[in-house]
Structure 1
Amino acid sequence: MLTMNDLKIDTVIVLDGEPFVVQTTQHVQMGRGGAILRTKLKNLISGNVLEKTFKSGDKIELAELSRTKANFLYKEGVNFHFMDNQSFEQFILSQDQIGEISNYVKDESDVEILNFKERPLAVNLPPKVDLKVTSAPPGVRGNTARGNVTKPAVLETGHTVQVPLFVEVGDLVRINTETGEYVERA
């Protein structure tokens, strides 16, 4: 069990039998009473966000999450199809469950799946992934005069990212999955 002081951003807790991830926290010291913690929590199953206030004596249950390896098969509309690498069972996660990570997941790539009570909830990617540039305008030498040394490039996942002028179509680039920024050529 956790106390109010143990709650940090990205901690996964259980409320009413469902997993929630802590998105924001704000400690508030009351005049005569004890301190409270105002939090914004996101339900990992439904995607709903709620605000919850915890008092200093509240006990909070930490969610027990398991991690498994899976293979991303394909995207169909807003659904992403995966296959567990051990059991070979296929399952679907929605765009809401995956979030921004969907911009960096390519077909046939291995990912880490977070499970709560044997139910897949979310996808974890490594901090950096290598993706191929499928479309990019040519870099013009005169563009560097203003200090603007980047251009938009479309990756194999369909996501657009800013890259340096020397990057061309077909190049493999390394992207930071946390910030969404270009890191280097792979």
Structure 2
Amino acid sequence: MAKASDVKTGNILRFNNELVLVEEFIHRTPGNLRAFYQASMRNVKTNKLVEYRFRTDEEVTIARVETQNYQYLYEDGENLVVMDNNTYDQIYVPKAMFGDAVRFLAEGMQVTVAIENDEPIMATMPSHVTLEITYSEPAVKGDTATNVTKAATVSTGAEIRVPLFINEGDKVRIDTRTGDYIERVKE
């Protein structure tokens, strides 16, 4: 057990028998009242935001979470199989932990997985990935208005919007958080 004063932003706590990620942790001293810590925490499983005021001497449980990079190998039903690059151990991570970004996940990519008690609790992808365009509609001559985009399919099968000058075979950088095209990558 630790005191509330030991908690820092980014810690994962066991709060009301749930795992929560501390997003904001502020020390407040309002006038002639006792000091407290105002915490904004996000539930790891449900993604709901929890607000709570800790007394300065209140005991909290900081979860022992190991965060490590893994290599994505393949999809197995509702799980993704990832491998530890040092020990070659493979673990199953639920696909839902990656959210919508999972559509940009290609074999061999590095992902970050947080594990507590041999159970994956959080998983994230790189914020930007480089993928090849496998199909794009041809541009229509005379379509030169600003910010005109067309549909394109990348090597993972996901569909994105790209500028007219992007063709099949081009490599593009994509923001996995929003699914937006960022730039064309020159080789």
How many residues align structurally? Answer: 182
Question: In the alignment, does 2:148 pair up with 1:132?
Answer: no
Partner deviation per Cα, 1:62-96 (whole Å, 9 max, x = no partner): 44432323221222343212222222222211122
The alpha-carbon distance between structure 1 residues 93 and 126, as it changes in their structure 2 partners (threshold 3 A), is same
Task: Report how far residue 131 of structure 1 moved.
Answer: 0.9
| Partner Cα distance (2:156, 2:61) in 1 | 37
| Partner Cα distance (1:117, 1:101) in 2 | 26
The alpha-carbon distance between structure 1 residues 100 and 56, as it changes in their structure 2 partners (threshold 3 A), is farther
Equivalence for 2:84: 84
Equivalence for 2:163: 164
Task: Report how far residue 130 of structure 1 moved.
Answer: 0.7
Equivalence for 2:42: 41
| Partner Cα distance (1:74, 1:126) in 2 | 17
Unmatched 5+ stretches in structure 2: none
Partner deviation per Cα, 1:29-76 (whole Å, 9 max, x = no partner): 999966774745223xx4463645324434544444323232212223
Range moving further from structure 2, 72-81 or 50-59 = 50-59
Q: CA RMSD in A?
A: 3.4
Percent identity between the aligned chains? 27
| Partner Cα distance (1:125, 1:175) in 2 | 12
The alpha-carbon distance between structure 1 residues 24 and 136, as it changes in their structure 2 partners (threshold 3 A), is farther
Task: Report how far residue 107 of structure 1 moved.
Answer: 1.5
Task: Report how far residue 129 of structure 1 moved.
Answer: 1.3
CA contact (8 A) 2:70 2:83 kept: yes
Structure number, greater radius of gyration: 2
Equivalence for 2:73: 73
| Partner Cα distance (1:165, 1:53) in 2 | 49
Unmatched 5+ stretches in structure 1: none
